[in-house]
Amino acid sequence: MEAITSPAPPPIPVIDLSPLAAPQPDAAAVRQLASALHAACRDVGFLYIAGHGLSQGQLDGLTALATRLFDLPQVDKEALDAARSPLARGYNSLQHGRHSCTPEDGGPRDAKESFTVGMERQAGDPRPPSPMHGPNQWPPEAVLPGWRVEAEAAVEQLLAAARLLMRGLALALQAPPDYFTSRCTDPVAQMVLFRYPPTGGTEEQRGCGAHTDCGFLTLVAQDAPGIEVQLSDGSWHAAPALPGCLLVNLGDMAARWAGDTYKSTVHRVHNRSDAATRHSLVFFCNTDFDAVVETMPSCLPPGVGAAAAEGGGGGSEAAAAVAGGTGSEAAAAGTDGGGSVAAAAGGGVIGRRHPPIKAGDYILQKLGLMFN
């Protein structure tokens, strides 16, 4: 069996986002945060975040949502079969194995159950239509009291945490702090719950095959070890739960936005326990469907589109406040036209240019889906 390194000390950094949420941001703390995010995204592509706004009780509640759902009788779960949803939302059983990470590799299907919840639209919604917004299949209240309300609250909690992280990523890439959040007002996001049975560590009974995520940001709450990250030397490293933290990884879209200077890292899931069942709740947070993804100006070679960042130019716009847009907060954040943040992030990052594409189209292409 392939060896997994000890989870301590982890090469996956822990980054505290609380300076971004402070009413009066501290300049030095924000610069340090931008630098730490830049290094984590460039070198690893995985990080733990603290200071994200969720209490430990709320984190425990995320995995409890999975436990409660998957503990239902099989007949109740099958009534929510994702095959009945045009958006593949709902339940996928261990036996059917339709929600497999790497079905094309010819190996066994993933050993897991899953349940997917996505962003909905109410009748008469005035926003432009999106093929990735639509109805969910919800467990009836009589079958699982209060579950839908708690699940919808979880989506909002995780979306807030993702947007906080987006502000930090924008600063790390020398952009205005609202660069990503302004493109995440009506996001293409999904919350997926998983249950992985114990397998005793056999490679044939993987929970999820080696893959990268296709979207922007992935936030994970988990109640037991299972995620394994492939480091730059090819070795695999366990990424268990840490108290008070969410595990985060960048997806292919984030790497594209950063001109491939940031990593979308290969990872997999193996519940190597002989007895314990593993639960996780994974929030795949993407931007608006129509948001244009194109290489950030700070990631381009000198003189190639670096004169004006999309949406503002990187000068006074980049000095926008971290926490909301006032001049005093901008000064506290130290975003003096991109200079101090660039220095905090280790200077310019030079990647390669990708042609612009809408975020939703990119995801659909990656997933091999087409909606007419």
pLDDT 10s per residue in the chain (372 long)?
455 554 444 589 999 999 999 999 899 999 999 999 999 999 999 999 999 999 999 999 999 999 999 999 999 999 999 999 999 999 999 887 666 676 555 666 788 999 999 999 877 888 877 889 999 999 999 999 999 999 999 999 999 999 999 999 999 999 999 999 999 999 999 999 999 999 876 666 788 989 999 999 999 999 999 999 999 899 999 999 999 999 999 999 999 999 999 999 999 999 999 999 999 999 999 999 999 999 998 888 776 653 333 333 333 233 333 333 333 333 333 333 333 333 334 444 567 788 999 999 999 998 875 443
Task: Note the CATH number of domain 14-298+352-367.
Answer: 2.60.120.330
Question: Counting beta carbons within 10 angstroms of the beta carbon of residue 245, is it exposed (0 to 12), middle (13 to 18) or buried (19 or more)?
Answer: buried
Let me know: does 332 contact 33? Beta carbons within 8 Å: no
DSSP-derived secondary structure letter, 160: H
Distance, in Å, from the CA atom of 69 to the CA atom of 184, rounded to the nearest integer, reads 29
CA distances to 44, 54, 170 from 49, in Å: 14, 11, 16
pLDDT value of residue 100: 67
Contact 276, 365 (CB under 8 A): no
Q: Where are the domains of the chain?
A: 14-298+352-367
Q: Which helix (H) or strand (E) holds 366?
A: helix 359-367
What is the predicted pLDDT for the residue at 204?
64
The CA angle 111-112-114, to the nearest 5 degrees, is 155
**The predicted structure's pLDDT at residue 349:** 52
Identify whether the C-beta of residue 214 lies closer than 8 Å to the C-beta of residue 277: no
For 346, which DSSP code? T
The pTM of the full predicted model, rounded to 2 decimals, is 0.85
State the pLDDT at residue 6.
Answer: 45
